[in-house]
Amino acid sequence: MNFLWKFRPSWMVLVRTPSDWYMVPMFAERVDQIKPFVVMEVLARAAELEEEGHRVVHFEVGEPDFPTAEPIVAAGRDALSAGRTKYTQATGIPELRRTISDYYSGLGVSVDPERIIVTPGASGGLVLLAGLLLDPGNELLITDPGYPCNEVFAMLAGGVPKRVAVTANNRFQPLANDLFDAWSDSSRGALLASPTNPTGTMLDPEVLAEIAKGLKARGGFLILDEIYQGLVSSPPYRSGLEIVDDLFVLNSFSKYFGMTGWRLGWNVVPDDAVDYMTHLAMNLFISPSTPAQYAALAAFEPAAMAIHEERARVFRERAEVLAEGLRDLGFTIPVMPDGAFYLYVDISHTGMDSTDFCWKLLNEYQVAITPGEDFGNHLQERFVRFAYTTDEDSIRLGLERIADALDELA
Q: Does 389 bind a second copy (CB under 8 A)?
A: no
Out of 4, 45, 49, 73, point to the residue binding a second copy (CB under 8 A). Answer: 73
Which helix H or strand E contains 187, and what residues bound it? Answer: strand 187-193
Strand partners, 15: 22
Rg, Å, the chain Cα set: 22
CB of 367 to a second copy, least distance (A): 21
DSSP-derived 3-state class of residue 269: coil
Residues 100-129 that bind a second copy (CB under 8 A): 120-121, 123-124, 127
Out of 113, 168, 170, 260, point to the residue binding a second copy (CB under 8 A). Answer: 260
> CA–CA separation, 267 vs 285, rounded Å?
14
Out of 5, 27, 181, 328, point to the residue binding a second copy (CB under 8 A). Answer: 27
> CA–CA separation, 242 vs 212, rounded Å?
12
> CA–CA separation, 179 vs 102, rounded Å?
33
Beta-carbon neighbour count of residue 261 at 10 Å? Answer: 12
For the chain, the straight-line distance linking the first and the last C-alpha, in angstroms and rounded, comes to 53
DSSP-derived 3-state class of residue 295: helix
The CA-CA-CA angle for residues 375, 376, 380, to 5°, reads 90
Residues 183-222 that bind a second copy (CB under 8 A): 216-219, 221
Q: Which is nearer to a second copy, 43 or 321 (CB)?
A: 43
- Count, residues near a second copy per rule CB under 8 A: 83
Q: Which is nearer to a second copy, 365 or 388 (CB)?
A: 388
CB of 295 to a second copy, least distance (A): 8
Residues 123-182 that bind a second copy (CB under 8 A): 123-124, 127, 130-138, 148-149, 152-153, 155-158
Q: Which is nearer to a second copy, 6 or 16 (CB)?
A: 16
Residues 262-301 that bind a second copy (CB under 8 A): 262-263, 272-273, 275-276, 278-280, 282-292
> CA–CA separation, 143 vs 249, rounded Å?
16
Q: What torsion do the CA atoms of 364, 366, 368, 373 make, to the nearest 10 degrees?
A: 10
Annotate each residue in 338-377 with x if it binds a second copy (CB under 8 A) or - if it does not, as one string.
Answer: ----------------------------------------
